[in-house]
Amino acid sequence: MKRIIIFRVILIIAIYSLLQAGCKKPGGSGLPVDADGNEYDTVVIGSQVWLAENLKTTKYNNGVPVPLITDNDTWASRSTAAFCWYDNDPSLKDTYGALYNWWAANEKITSICPAGYHVPSDEEWLTLINYLGGEDIAGDKLKAAGEQFWSSGNYSTNETGFTAMPGGWRSHMDGTFSSKGWKGYWCVYS
C-alpha cells in the first residue's frame, strides 16, 4: 500500500513537471511573448497579472499584421485597426512601445496582447486602483520612478514593479501625437 502511494506521488510530480515544461514560452524564459517574438516582464498586483512593459507588437497574437499608419489624415479617417510609433519614430519602440487605435485595441476576434492577455476593462483598472489605495495614490505606485521618462513633478515610487512608461497617444481626430511623458496603456492577464 505504501509503495502505491509513493508511486502515485512520484507519478503526479512527473506529470506536473512535464506540464510545466510544456507551458513555457519559446526561448525558455516563461515570459509572455507577442507575435513578433518580443518578451514581456510581468508583475502580480493583488489578484491580477499585468504586463510590466508597454506593448510593442506589430501583429495580432495570431500572426496577422496590424497595419502601420504614419500619415495623420489616414490615421484620423481610419475605421479599422492600425498602429504606429510615437512621432513615427521606431527608435522609441523599446522604451515606449507602439500606439494602437481603438479598433486594434478592441479587436474581439484576436488580440494585440500576447496569448493569454488582453486589453484591460474599466472594471479591471478599478480593481487595480482600489487595491493600490485609490485614484489619488495608485498612479505613483505604478509609474517608473524619477523624471527621466515622466514629466517633471513625478513623485512615483514604482513600488509595484509595474514600471509604467508614458508612451503617449495619437489623436483619432487629426492624427497628431501628444502626451508622451504623461500617459501610457497596458494589458492584463485573462
Give pLDDT tens digits for 113-136. Answer: 998 888 888 899 999 999 999 999
Phi-psi category of residue 31: left, alpha or beta, with phi > 0 → left and psi -120 to 50 → alpha: beta
If asked whether residues 112 and 46 sit together in one domain, one would say yes
**Cα–Cα distance for residue pair 100/134, rounded to 1 Å:** 27
- Estimate the crossing angle of helix 122-131 against helix 135-142, to 10 degrees: 90
Size of the chain in residues: 190
If asked whether residues 98 and 153 sit together in one domain, one would say yes
Q: What is the pLDDT of residue 86?
A: 96
If asked whether residues 26 and 41 sit together in one domain, one would say no
The three three-digit cell numbers of residue 149, written as one number: 521618462
Parent domain of 10: 1-30
If asked whether residues 16 and 104 sit together in one domain, one would say no
**SS3 of residue 182 by DSSP:** coil
What percentage of the chain reaches a pLDDT higher than 70?
79
Residues 168, 172, 176, 179, Cα dihedral to 10°: -20
If asked whether residues 6 and 83 sit together in one domain, one would say no
If asked whether residues 133 and 71 sit together in one domain, one would say yes
If asked whether residues 3 and 79 sit together in one domain, one would say no
Number of domains making up the chain: 2
